[in-house]
């Protein structure tokens, strides 16, 4: 199965697609540091540090999957929710590229705010435009914690699949068990430098994490979010006003801070995944990512649907 991904970020969705069995023909990401992260971890990937608006999709006509993690601010409840009036809205660019490529399936991730009542007309228009291009479109709010991610992270996933394949696709089902707690997830990393308080801290951090917030290029720094989010972190014994460069010293006293590596593990990244750039830009890459386990779950079911189509085509031939 072959895919192309836009707004690829630091690779959260790309990792999930790879784990589901997709081969990336191209990954497009406008921010150079983010693109360097992709190149750093997968030198063999075909990475373009380009503006999606200027990308020519025609060489990829007929590809199996078009994937994207389109910018969230136009639809986020934390912003002004300008939708199609926001200059950062890239749904028009996505529709142009889908028209040029005519992929068998489309997978787009966005924030929960996309489902707000204020965007009813916009969703109807999007569905109508994709219908004219030959796709059956659905969306669903998926919680990352249902797929093993130790975090409250609701995300909307939009799936548009060619109409002759629509009956074959099923949404992934939640795992039958809860994800690990923050303490269980990070105990080894928090105690990596011999902190004597590690065991007691892990016992206190006995819930999953609140939503990781990475901030935008203009707003937000290396912290764990606004006041309400920091209070939630404090209840887990974590100081959320800033990030740490390393785990606590052996004799550390107080609430520890998280490192970028710790946040990346909470987000579902493999520990081997590296992030290019300083702490703030690395944290932005982690915080704005689509958790790989969720992307993998959806992509796995898309692969099954597309495999059935290929099987039918082979028998017909």
Edge-to-edge strand order for the sheet containing 105-111?
47-48, 23-28, 2-6, 65-69, 105-111, 154-162, 135-143
The whole-number average pLDDT for the span 134-163 is: 96
Distance CA 222, CA 217 (A): 12
**What does the mean pLDDT of the chain come to?**
90
Distance CA 280, CA 290 (A): 18
Tell me the C-alpha to C-alpha distance, in Å, between residue 130 and each of 108, 259, 261.
13, 41, 39
As a whole-number percent, the residues of the chain with pLDDT over 90 amount to: 77
Rg, the chain, Cα only:
20
- Count CB atoms within 10 A of the CB of residue 234: 14
Distance CA 7, CA 50 (A): 9
pLDDT at 314 over 70: no
The whole-number average pLDDT for the span 92-119 is: 92
Q: How confident is the model at residue 82 (pLDDT cuts 50, 70, 90)?
A: very low
Residue that the structure tokens 């308080």 belong to: 197
Residue 192 Cα to chain centre, angstroms = 27
At residue 306, the pLDDT reads: 94
315 against 255, higher pLDDT: 255
Length of the chain: 317
Q: Are 250 and 193 in contact (CB under 8 A)?
A: yes
Active-site residue numbers?
72
CA angle at 217 for the pair 26 and 276, rounded to the nearest 5°? 55
Q: What are phi and psi of 279, to 5 degrees?
A: -60, -45
Judge residue 15's burial from the number of C-beta atoms within 10 Å of its C-beta, 0-12 exposed, 13-18 middle, 19 or more buried.
Answer: buried
138 against 73, higher pLDDT: 138
What DSSP string runs through 129-143? HHHHTTEEEEEEEEE
pTM of the model: 0.91
At residue 218, the pLDDT reads: 56
pLDDT at 53 over 70: yes
pLDDT at 112 over 90: no
Closest CA to 133 of 183, 61, 71: 61
pLDDT, one tens digit per residue, over 233-282 is 999 999 999 999 999 999 999 999 999 999 999 999 999 999 999 998 99
């Amino acid at each position: 199965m072959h895919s192309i991904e836009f707004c690829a970020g630091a690779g959260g969705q790309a990792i999930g697609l790879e784990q589901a069995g997709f081969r990336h023909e191209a990954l497009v990401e406008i921010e150079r540091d983010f693109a360097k992260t992709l190149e750093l971890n997968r030198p063999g990937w075909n990475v373009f540090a380009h503006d999606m608006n200027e990308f020519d999709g025609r060489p990829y006509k007929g590809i199996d999957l078009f994937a994207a993690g389109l910018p969230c601010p136009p639809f986020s409840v934390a912003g002004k929710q300008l939708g199609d009036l926001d200059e950062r809205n890239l749904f028009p660019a996505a529709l142009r590229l889908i028209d040029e490529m005519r992929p068998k399936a489309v997978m787009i991730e966005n924030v929960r705010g996309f489902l707000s009542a204020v965007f009813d007309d916009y969703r109807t228009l999007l569905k109508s435009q994709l219908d004219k291009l030959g796709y059956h479109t659905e969306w669903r709010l998926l919680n990352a914690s249902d797929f093993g991610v130790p975090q409250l992270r609701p995300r909307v996933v939009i799936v548009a699949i060619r109409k002759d394949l629509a009956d074959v696709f099923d949404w992934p089902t939640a795992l039958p068990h809860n994800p690990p707690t923050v303490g269980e997830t990070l105990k080894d990393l928090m105690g990596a430098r011999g902190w004597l308080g590690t065991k007691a801290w892990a016992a206190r951090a006995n819930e999953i994490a609140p939503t990781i917030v990475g901030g935008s290029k203009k707003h937000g720094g290396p912290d764990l979010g606004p006041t309400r989010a920091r209070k939630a972190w404090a209840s887990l014994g974590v100081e959320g006003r800033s990030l740490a460069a390393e785990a606590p010293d052996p004799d550390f006293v107080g609430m520890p801070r998280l490192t970028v590596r710790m946040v990346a593990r909470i987000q579902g990244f493999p520990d081997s995944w590296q992030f290019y750039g300083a702490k703030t830009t690395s944290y932005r890459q982690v915080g704005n990512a689509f958790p790989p386990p969720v992307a993998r779950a959806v992509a796995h079911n898309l692969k099954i649907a597309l495999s059935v189509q290929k099987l039918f085509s082979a028998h017909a031939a």
